[in-house]
Amino acid sequence: MQVIEIENLSFSYDGRTDVLEDLSLTVRRGEFVGIVGPNGAGKTTLFRIILGFLKPRRGSLKLFGENVETFRRWDRIGYVPQRLSVERNFPATVRELLDLTGEDPQEVIALLHLNDLLDRQFLRLSGGQQQIVLLGMALVRNPDLLLLDEPTAGLDVHFQRHIIQTLRSLSVRENRTILMISHDIGLVLRTVDRVLCLNRRIRYYGEPEGAIEAVEEMFGIKGVRDGAS
């Protein structure tokens, strides 16, 4: 089953300069796709189009076989932003945030080891801890598609490994579809099924082994293969 189908999609914020240009790709059910590219490449913009927040200038997007213009099953999609914009005096605890979802969070609390954070205020957590809570809020709704924007940013190596193992399990065992933006190129190449190299246009989309040349060219670096091993 095709979860995401994008054909000849372009987007511009000002109506003149395309931030995304002529994208065509499909993502199948159960695939784990890593998205890499320099700052300003359009990665988060692509997520916002998939979520229906932005409308493409041309081209088409289908979610679960349905045109995005008529798609209404947004509960099937979980989104973890790079950061949550809230007021500085935002008083909610982690427990209260999870309860806001209206679902039983106990399984996710155990899965992500959130017990020690439940009674702490969200804004008093470290950036990495906040990312884990946001992931928990997305997972508690049991979505079929997860869009993750830098989900391991700010995490120590131990917890980063735990989160990645959890995501792999969701993809392989539960057939969830995952799109993950990350600046950790080595992590992406070691983890995902397919890599999308994006810099306004698609520079590469395929298996991790074939992405190395495109990544090195896009970032002007060498030795990516060593970092991915």
- Looking at residue 225, what is its pLDDT? 64
- Looking at residue 228, what is its pLDDT? 60
- Looking at residue 79, what is its pLDDT? 95
> 22: domain range?
2-228
In the chain (229 residues long), the average pLDDT of successive 10-residue segments reads: 97 93 98 96 97 96 97 95 68 92 92 94 88 92 95 86 91 95 93 96 95 89 64
| CATH value at residue 100 | 3.40.50.300
State how many domains the chain has.
1
- Looking at residue 153, what is its pLDDT? 84
- Looking at residue 223, what is its pLDDT? 66
pTM for this predicted structure: 0.90
Q: Which residues of 169-181 are buried (b: 16+ CB within 10 A; e: fewer)?
A: ebbeeeebbbbbb
